[in-house]
Amino acid sequence: MIDQRMPIRTILATAVLLCALPSPAFAMHIAEGILPLPWALLWYAVAFPFVAWGLRDLRRRSREAPWFKPLVGLVGAALFLISCMPIPVPTAGTCSHPSGAGIAAILIGPWLTAVVASIALTLQALFLAHGGLTTLGANIVSMGVAGAWVGWGVFAAARRFGLPWFAAAFLAGLFSDWATYATTSLELAAALHGEGSFTTMFSLILLAFVPTQLPLGILEGFLCAGALKFIRSRRPELLRAVPEGGTS
């Protein structure tokens, strides 16, 4: 059982303090005002059903297992911290951010990852100037939808094909990170290519992310695998909803 008195507020407060320092970054957060209004509304419309279904999933699973809601809170706090934590990337001379969507999707499922990602991104937009309210829908889609579903799908497929937990989690973190930034590139290119070529704009934005996200994706893969290994050794009962299959 998870202690419902665990200091989630303390974790969030610490995350805010750690992330409050300004830093240059190429990040999955699309800044306020970047997207024209029709595109901003479109991505809100895309994100809405995922968040709504995630809230329904939370109610259902919380009724079945009272310990599940505190777990979602802890995962949300971890995702908040991970996704606003600047990490130096020497190959680009700048900083970037992991997403945390891969490990979240493994632990609580992709639907609920959209919910905790929406909360984390809202707090980051309001208090840390990461992203914005008009671009919140697009940021939810890139991290809480694309990142979550790719991470969960890769993990489930890898386990089904017989890969061990560590390798499956590594691949989930890696491809979840890359999917998040690929989706961000698509969102920006679709809105900003104007009279030019969408394909050219998408390729240029995606290539701009490569120097940071190639190594950072690998780092997030190890982060995801390490976190899952730690949970398996200390609290394996939390993994009862994780896709099975393969070797241990």
Domains for the chain: give ranges and CATH numbers.
35-235 (1.10.1760.20)
Under-50 pLDDT residues of the chain: 1-8, 10-12, 14-26, 89, 91-94, 245-247
Q: Compute the CA torsion angle 18, 21, 22, 25 (nearest 10 deg).
A: -20
- pLDDT at res. 246: 43
- pLDDT at res. 130: 83
Model pTM?
Answer: 0.84
Q: At what angle do helices 68-83 and 37-64 cross, to 10 degrees?
A: 150
Q: Which of 213, 218, 225, 185 is nearest to 97 (CA)?
A: 213
Tokens for 219, please give them: 């780092």
